[in-house]
Amino acid sequence: MRITARQIELFQMAYRHRSTRKAADALHISQPAISRVVAELEVEMGVALFDRAGRKFEPTAAAHSLQQAVQKHYQGLDRIRDTATQIALGTGGHLRVATVPAVADTRVAIAAGRLMAEFPALRVDVVVLNERAGLAALREGRVDCAVVSSDPGDPNLACTRLTDLDPVAIVPRTDALADRSEVSAAELATRPLITLTPHSPFRRAVEMMFDRAGTSFQVRAEAETQTALVHMVAQGAGCAIVDANILRSSDTAGVATLRLTSPLSWPTRIATLSASQDIPGLRRFTAAVLDTQAPGSSP
C-alpha cells in the first residue's frame, strides 16, 4: 500500500481538528490541498475515513484505528502501511462495541472472541451500556457500533437486523414447574421473578408479555446481565426469563428450562454511523454476530 509521510501528517491534522479548514489553517496550506490528500488516502485504503454527511467531518471507525496505529508506530511508516492494509481488509485495527446487557455475555462476546482469535491484529473492546447510552456513545464517536433492540429511526445511522432472541423461562430444579416443558405468563406471575433492570429493553418486552396476558409479575430481584439471572435462579432465589443462548455458556445444573406459551419477541440490531457501515472491520463483526445466531452454531 502506497502511503506517504505527508499523507499521514495531513490525515492526523484533519483527524485532530475534525475540519479540513482548521487543519489547513494550522498547516498554512489551502483547504483543497488537505481535502485532496485525505481523499487520496481514502482511495488508497478503499475505506471512508471521515463522515461528510451534512456539514459534519467526523472520523469513522477506520480513521480511529489508523490514528491509533500512527500514534503507536509514528517512526515506522512501513508498519503504518501494514496496519492501514489490515484496516482496509478488516483484519486489523481497533473496534469499540457498545452492547445492551441481554446479549453482552453471549452473542457479542462470542463474536468478538472469534474475530480476535482469527485475526491477531484486530482488537475488539466491548462495553455494556443500556440502549440509550449506547446510541449516545455511537453518535458522540466513543464507540464504532452499538448492539441495541429498537431501531432508532435516525437517518445518520445504519441498522442491521439480527436474529431475534429466543426467550425461555428458567426455574430452580426444586420448583414444582421444573418437570414441565412449557409455562404461561399467568403461571409465572405466581412465582417471584428475577429480572433485568427497568432500563433494559428486554425487561420492557417481558413486561409487555405479562400485560398482554392481563397479569403482573413479582420482582424478587434485579440484575444487570443474563448470566447473573441464571446463577441466581440456580441457587433457588426465584425464576427468570432469559435468552436461550445464555444457557449454552452458563452453569445450568441447578435450573430447568421451559418454553414460553405466551408470545415474547425481542429483536436485536447493530447500529453504526452511516459513513462507517461499509468499514470492513465492522462488516466482519456484524457477520460474526450473525454467525453466532445460526442454527447449530456453537457458543
**Can you give the pLDDT at residue 107?**
87
Report DSSP state, residue 83.
Answer: H
**Can you give the pLDDT at residue 106?**
83
**Can you give the pLDDT at residue 294?**
45
Helix H or strand E encompassing 32? helix 31-45
The grid coordinates of residue 220 equal 424478587
The model carries a pTM of 0.66
The contacts of residue 210 (CB under 8 Å, 6+ apart) are 185, 188, 189, 216, 217
Task: Report d(CA 86, CA 9) in Å as an integer.
Answer: 20
Residue with cell string 399467568: 186
Provide, for the chain, the percentages of residues in helix, strand and coil under a 3-state DSSP scheme, each rounded to the nearest 5.
Answer: 45, 20, 35
Q: Could you state, in chain order, the average pLDDT of each consecutive group of 10 residues for the chain (299 residues)?
A: 81 90 88 90 90 85 87 65 76 90 87 94 92 92 92 90 87 93 93 89 89 92 90 94 81 88 88 87 91 52
**Can you give the pLDDT at residue 296?**
40
- With vertex at residue 261, the alpha carbon angle to CA 260 and CA 265, rounded to the nearest 5 degrees, is 65
**Can you give the pLDDT at residue 124?**
94
**Can you give the pLDDT at residue 82?**
72
Q: Does domain 5-87 have CATH number 1.10.10.10?
A: yes
Indicate if 167-260 has the same CATH topology as 90-163+267-292. Answer: yes
The grid coordinates of residue 191 equal 412465582
Q: Could you give the count of Cα atoms lying within 13 Å of 276 in the half-sphere of its Cβ?
A: 33
**Domain layout of the chain by residue ranges:** 5-87, 90-163+267-292, 167-260
Q: How far is CA 279 from CA 61, 63, 85, 140, 264, in A?
A: 7, 10, 12, 18, 34
Q: Which CATH superfamily is domain 90-163+267-292 in?
A: Periplasmic binding protein-like II (3.40.190.10)
**Can you give the pLDDT at residue 157?**
92
Residue with cell string 485495527: 93
Contact 171, 239 (CB under 8 A): yes
**Can you give the pLDDT at residue 297?**
43
Contact 18, 58 (CB under 8 A): yes
**Can you give the pLDDT at residue 299?**
39
Q: What is the CATH number of domain 167-260?
A: 3.40.190.10
Task: Report d(CA 108, CA 147) in Å as an integer.
Answer: 8
3 state SS of 214: coil
**Can you give the pLDDT at residue 150?**
86
